[in-house]
Amino acid sequence: MQNTLEIRLNILKYEGMGLSKTETVKAIAEKLGCSKSDIYWHYSTRPKWQRDFLDYTDRAGFFDMAVSRLNYIYREATFQYFRADNSSAKCGFLRLMLEDTLHLKDLVQAAEVEELKQAIEEIKREVAKKH
């Protein structure tokens, strides 16, 4: 169970750092000493576990971590954009910057929705106390 948790945490961590799937698998295999096939299995079952996994983590901490990683990816893409020699590479980095911005927007909206849900729950509790 602990190894499963570590593998899944590291998958999200390394992807957040901008590593590709193969780089992530290699890094996790070296770090945890597990087989690459185990890590690929976790990738294949990701749609089943990711939502539940993230629901159990601290939402504020996750939000801060995700924003930090998206900012890092954006900075790296900007740096690479200015170093790129051809227009195809520049287009690729611009696309990455756009996708990063869209992910950040989604995170902010999700945080706002979560705050609204908490405010509604607080109002319901106050109303229930008065009656």
Residue 112: pLDDT above 80?
A: no
Closest CA to 40 of 51, 58, 54, 26: 26
Report the distance separating Cα 30 and Cα 27, nearest Å: 5
pTM of the model: 0.44
66-81 pLDDT, tens per residue? 778 888 888 888 888 8
Q: Which pair of structure tokens corresponds to residue 37? A: 């096939």
18-60 pLDDT, tens per residue? 888 999 999 999 998 889 999 999 989 888 877 766 665 556 6
Residue 1: pLDDT above 50?
A: no
Report the distance separating Cα 34 and Cα 36, nearest Å: 7
77 with 100: CB under 8 angstroms?
yes
